[in-house]
Amino acid sequence: MTATEPADFRDFRDFRWDAVEHRPYKEDASAAFSAISRQVLFEAPALACELRYFEMQAGGYSTLERHQHMHGVMVFRGYGHCLLGSTVRAVAPFDLVRIPAWIWHQFRATRGETFGFLCMVNRERDRPQLPTEADLAALRANAEVAAFLDETLR
Ligand code: MN
């Protein structure tokens, strides 16, 4: 039997995990986002995927982006809205969102409270693409999406 390591067990308290660093959402400051933090819960090379926990304060939002790699998301805390392609959905704890390749996506905290979600992603992955003016115009052709973006970009 192989011995366990202390890092094999990490207690959860106040939406933080022991020995998990509380990091900025993105190292790259070129993308628009607000009031959001990142904890990487699992990133062992043997797993081929990573599990991260993102949390945003009231009024916070993630980057509007798309990429080749997929996301598997589970809402973990609070209430938010999710933009997925031309769909805007209210999401609540333990709802699942599958984000396919090349679909525009963004999360936004709603109801004036903290909103957090778990996100599973490939360890090896492409860099996200940000929308051009033309992409934004195309997204805005949908009134519901436009309303979502106006709230986000305010
Ligand atoms: Mn993404």
pLDDT tens-digit readout, 42-64: 999 999 999 999 999 988 999 99
pLDDT attached to residue 1: 57
Question: From ligand 1's centre to the CA of 7, what distance in Å?
Answer: 27
**2 lies in some domain:** no
Q: Which domain holds residue 122?
A: 18-152
**133 lies in some domain:** yes
CATH number, domain of 106, equals 2.60.120.10
Alpha-carbon torsion 124, 61, 38, 95, what sign? negative
**1 lies in some domain:** no
Question: From ligand 1's centre to the CA of 3, what distance in Å?
Answer: 36
78 token code pair: 């609070």
**104 lies in some domain:** yes
Question: From ligand 1's centre to the CA of 116, what distance in Å?
Answer: 15
**9 lies in some domain:** no
Residue 33 and residue 11 in contact, taking contact as beta carbons nearer than 8 Å: no
Entry pTM = 0.90
pLDDT attached to residue 29: 65
pLDDT attached to residue 152: 65
**7 lies in some domain:** no
pLDDT attached to residue 51: 97
Question: From ligand 1's centre to the CA of 88, what distance in Å?
Answer: 16
pLDDT attached to residue 133: 96
Question: From ligand 1's centre to the CA of 97, what distance in Å?
Answer: 12
For tokens 């209210």, the residue is 90
The catalytic residues are 119
Residue 135 and residue 86 in contact, taking contact as beta carbons nearer than 8 Å: no
Number of domains in the chain: 1
Burial classification of residue 83, based on how many CB atoms lie within 10 Å of its CB (0-12 exposed, 13-18 middle, 19 or more buried)? buried
101 - beta bridge partners? Answer: none
- Distance CA(19)–CA(59), nearest Å, equals 28
Question: From ligand 1's centre to the CA of 6, what distance in Å?
Answer: 31
pLDDT attached to residue 73: 98
From first to last of its 154 residues, the chain has per-residue pLDDT tens of: 577 877 789 999 999 998 888 887 876 666 777 888 999 999 999 999 999 999 999 889 999 999 999 999 999 999 999 999 999 999 999 999 999 999 999 999 987 889 999 999 999 999 999 999 999 999 999 999 999 998 865 5
